[in-house]
Each structure stands twice: as C-alpha cells, then as structure tokens.
Structure 1
Amino acid sequence: MTFSAKPSQSMIDRNTDTQTGQLIPNSCGTIWIEFSPEPSIGIKQMRVFAHTIVEHNFHTGVFITMAALTSSAAKIIPTVAPSVIECFLEQDLLVNITRHELVPQHVLMSREDKRKLLERYRLKETQLPRIQQADPVAKYFGLKRGMVVKIIRKSETAGRYASYRWVY
C-alpha cells in the first residue's frame, strides 16, 4: 500500500517566515508513505523507494516494514540528499506512544517560538537539555537536529510545568 499526503494549512502557516511571508526551505512538504509486504528489506527495495522519493520530488518518505532493514539497505538512507527518509517497523506503529499515560505531551516549537525562548532565558540552543533523534517520541514526530520540543508534564505541586529539549 502506498499513498502521498500534503501538509495542512496550519502546518504551512507555522512554517512560513513572518517577515518575508515565504515558506521556510526544507521545513515541510509532501510526504510519500509506503508499506512493504516483503519479509526482508535489502538494497534493491530501498533503492526503488529512494528513486520514487527523488523522482516525484517528495519532501519526506516514510517506509514501513515488517522486518528490520539490512545494514547495507540502511546505508542508502543518508544518500538521498534533498529528501528525508524515515523507516519504521510495523510493530512499532501498532500503538500510538504519544497517547500512553506515562508519556508527557510533546509540542514542537516553531522557529519563532524557539528564538523567543532562547532570548527570554539568554541561552544558546546547545545549552538546553537534549533529546536524542533516536528517542521513540522524537522519531514519532520526525524531529531533526536543531529543533526544540516543549515537554509538558503533570506536577503535584505546580499542576503542570514545561521543560524544553534540543534535538541532537
């Protein structure tokens, strides 16, 4: 099964530069999603998927498999320069981890909100606490290096409090 999806108007608005009124380059775009029925994914399947992404000029490709990629197939992913390829195991997507009671709410901050946060606390982004790109929630949201996510937790004393994490 394969399909494509375009960004919503709210996503386009969130990724539009307020000063120029132009869409921020490489911030959002059309995605291609493909479910692979193959029992093992090798170089051939990844090359075909990468070719589809580049040929049709998709911003992001999501490849969902039943089995893990071979190590040689995983090496193809960084070579697709203008696009982003994300690979998930089907079993990892059966449960929405963001809805679990132990996972706090994660909110991706826009570039403008990130700039205001850093100005407010007089910080550099590297001084923020970190979250790995391989973190399950970061992977779920497709977070990339340099993005900042706001994590809202419940607290017995404060009710709710927010912390911020920089993706590295």
Structure 2
Amino acid sequence: MSSSDDEITKLLKVRKTVMQMLNDRGYLVTDDEINMTKQQFIEYYGDNKSRDNLFMIKNKQNDTSDQIMVIFLIPEPSKETIGIGPLKKCIERMQSEKIFRAILVTEHGLTAAAKKAVELPNIKLEVFQDSELLNNVTEHDLVPEHQVLTDGEKKAVLEKYKVKETQLPRMLVTDPVARHYGFQRGQVVKIIRPSEYVS
C-alpha cells in the first residue's frame, strides 16, 4: 500500500466519522455520504485530492438556518501544526457565509497561539485531530447511548428527584463523547445503558 493510498484510507475513515458526528447532532446527512466506499471517495474527490476538497456545509434537519461548516485545515508550507494564518482564513470564510459554528479537522493540531485564537465569543470552533476521528467513539461496546433532554424533560427530572441542576453529575466538555455530540454547558444528558438482567 502506497503512502498516497494510506492517506486516502485515513481521510475516508476521518470523513466517515465526521459524517456520523454530524448525523448524531441532527444535521442533514445521507446514508450514502456516511457509507461512501473508497472507490466512490476517489471518484468524488480525485486521486490527488487536497484536504481543502473535503470542505462542507450542513444544515440542521429541523432548521435549515442552523448551519455548520466542516473545514479540513492545511498547515502553512514547511509547518506541521496549524498557526493563526490558516485559522484567520477559516474565520473569514465563516463570516462571509454567515455561519458561526465549525468543525476544524487537522492532521497535527494547533500552535499555542492558534489555540487561544479559537476561543471566540460569537463563533464556535471545535478542533479535532485526524487521530481522534479514525474511529467513532460512540460505536464502542462500552459507550452507552446518550440523549440530550429538552428543557421540559430537564425540568421534569429536576422536579422528580428534587435536585438543583448543580447537583447533577457532571460530564467534562473534553470528554470524547461530549465532543462527538457537541454537548453544551447547561444541557442535561440521559444515558441509556442496556439492562444487566435477562429474563
């Protein structure tokens, strides 16, 4: 297997996980997009594809005005990590499209300055390295199903158990499952585990 073939295989896996992630978050993604074969990937993106070609914009299923951009970042020449330059281009592109949420996929991560620049007040940027997206964390046998509760369901749970929101167990925003689903502070998540009892 050539290094070009290895790169195509890796990008196909990364793209599939991103598609599953978007689908799990309620964005419009087709089964064909999720289950694209290697041959279809090559036909669609070309043999000498650039990470730039994997760019996409997706709409929420129930609200087409709610959009997310997915950008596969490329470092500046002779650098491995992503600096402020490519990040500024992403932000400019988002602002020109009036999209305020993006998933940035990078091969090696961001420089320290770029990590600080990602924290913006009115733009939500989520950064994932390729290595984090080679496998879908939610497909692991030990990861139970997670469902975000609506505001009404959240209120009912707090009333039922006579607790305040601050008394509920916490999930870190850095948790791989929280990152996959894009959970936000203040959301309450129902975790569904299979029963240990068999009748």
**TM-score tier (shorter):** 0.7 to 0.9
Which structure has more strand as a fraction of its residues?
1
Please list, as runs of the form range in 1=range in 2, the aligned pairs for 1:3-152 lying within 5 A after superposition.
Answer: 3-9=56-62, 12=63, 29-38=66-75, 39-79=80-120, 81-152=121-192
Structure 1: unaligned runs, 5 residues or longer: 13-27, 160-168
CA shift digits 1:59-110 (9 cap, x unpaired): 311100001111110111112x222110000111111110110111111112
Q: Structure 1 runs of 4+ off > 3 angstroms?
A: none
SS at match of 1:156: coil
CA shift digits 1:107-146 (9 cap, x unpaired): 1112221122112222211110111000000011111111
SS at match of 1:151: strand
Structure 2: unaligned runs, 5 residues or longer: 1-53
CA RMSD in angstroms comes to: 1.8
CA distance, structure 1, for counterparts of residue 124 and residue 150 of structure 2: 19
SS at match of 1:82: coil
SS at match of 2:135: coil
Equivalent residues, number? 141
Any conservation in 2 of the 1:54–1:83 contact (CA below 8 Å)? no
Any conservation in 2 of the 1:5–1:30 contact (CA below 8 Å)? yes
Any conservation in 1 of the 2:138–2:177 contact (CA below 8 Å)? yes
TM-score (norm 1): 0.77
Which has the higher Rg, Structure 1 or Structure 2? 2
Amino acid at match of 1:59: F
- Deviating more after overlay: 64-73 vs 105-114: 105-114
